[in-house]
Amino acid sequence: MQNNVLILDFGSQYTQLIARRVRELNIFCEIKPYNLLPQDLSPYKAVILSGSPHSVRGDDAPHPDLTGIRGKKPLLAVCYGAQYLAHFSGGEVAPSNTREYGRAHLDFMAADEPFFAGVSPQSQVWMSHSDTIKTLPAGGVLIGSTHDVTNAAYKIEGETTYAIQFHPEVYHSKDGKQMLANFLVDIAGVAQDWTPDSFVHETITSLKNQIGQDRVILGLSGGVDSTVAAVLLHQAIGTQLHCIFVNNGLLRKNEFDQVLDQYKHMGLNVKGVDASDRFLQALSGLTDPEAKRKAIGKVFVDVFDDESHQVVDAKWLAQGTIYPDVIESLSATGGPSATIKSHHNVGGLPDYMKLKVVEPLRLLFKDEVRRVGASLGISSVLLGRHPFPGPGLAIRVLGEVTPEKVRILQEVDAIFIDGLRSWNLYDQVWQAGAILLPVQSVGVMGDERTYEQCVALRAVESTDGMTADWVDLPYAFLQKTSNDIINKVKGVNRVVYDISSKPPATIEWE
């Protein structure tokens, strides 16, 4: 790909949104931590600097080496990036005397400035910063101002360098996508040629070159990500691909048999492996969410190590890792300190496992995976399936995981999901599931007092899992679902509904 855009991440909460907006323009982009610049910058047609929670005036301010970028490639500096260029290039950045957070309007936009082509007068933008640019850097030319921020946008003479104090990537910047298109397409000359079909073609070619004649083992889950990864690999290497579907004892009710059945007619070579006891034993006594994830990840790797020895000359382990997994498992500085949570399929393999990792979907968001799957001809039923966490029900059983708790949650989850389908609500929800809480509550059933489990139902709408909002399900549906769960699932006497958004909550409870 010779039309890539490089996004340097300084730790902003909005960096992923920049990537989303760029890809909506049919332009491929990658996010890299600011201090892990690629040695080869030739594939990149343009560079974007993200915002940051840091101040350029601080001792811990991110300070990348931009000598291979400044004046050599089109550069767009956003928020911290704009302050960074000013502070280290002869300008002045100081604490703001007024609050510069939230909605603002561009009162001034330079006439005939291509960056603002097609942008509405008084266009609303989103500010999020505590420092402000007092004076522009050497060569700086003012091109945009708001009521409170004089130096809201500028460019550098003699360079294709633009800097803006606001965030064009967020929803509240009404013409933000237009500005990004103006910079990337019209100013930087980046081609809008990244489509699902082009991704499929380039990825299949890349996989053929990467794998050669080697054999590959892939873990199928029945979900969208692993299915699309399997079909991509199958088209690239055919019978060299050996798919394995592991029953970790933490799947939904009857899911092991259903998943194996759905792959029968897809031409994939699939083997089912029941490792339920190994996973449940590894989880015995564990209550910490991260400890449970790590235990599941270890057994997952061990099972595949065992299976790899049964496939002669297996050299690769394929995984359906996607971009949100990678982003949430890696901080902006490339270290573990700011991770949100670890993912069982991110981070490589232990030394004793002699398989290399191949992840064909590693740079795709969930909605992009679905579009690629449609391009591959995968059925809409499979592509429309809700995401399901890699650790399965282990992270939906809060506290210690036991076979009995898994049984209860499987029954509850089946009633909830089947109900969504029968009420034609399933496709209106991005992800849904039930959580077994470590709480027992008093209830009355008939003339008897009960002291049983409480479950929470969770349903969210989203596009890629990076942000999500709870779904306002009909009261009648929730009423019936609650009654069905309490009447049909032994051990449950209370049902609650989670109305938390992400952020501040996450989709899963653990």
Q: Which residues does the annotation mark as catalytic?
A: 79, 167, 169
Q: Going along 275-355, which residue ranges are E strands?
A: 314-318
Under DSSP, the state recorded for 166 is S
Are 52 and 64 in contact, with CB atoms under 8 Å apart?
no
Phi, psi of 472 (to 5 degrees): -80, 80
| Distance between CA atoms of residues 454 and 436, nearest Å | 7
- Residue 377 to residues 129, 196, 373, 380, 409, Cα–Cα distance (Å): 45, 12, 6, 9, 34
- Paired strand residues for 454: 494
| Distance between CA atoms of residues 292 and 385, nearest Å | 25
| Distance between CA atoms of residues 64 and 73, nearest Å | 15
Residue 141: alpha-carbon gap to chain centroid: 37
User: Nearest-CA neighbor of 346 among 293, 399, 304, 275?
Assistant: 293
Are 278 and 253 in contact, with CB atoms under 8 Å apart?
no
The four Cα atoms 71, 72, 74, 78 give a dihedral, to 10 degrees, of -60
Phi, psi of 98 (to 5 degrees): -125, 155
Q: Going along 169-313, which residue ranges are E strands?
A: 215-220, 241-247, 270-274
- Match 């500085």 to its residue by tokens: 333
Phi, psi of 293 (to 5 degrees): -60, -45
Total count of residues recorded for the chain: 510
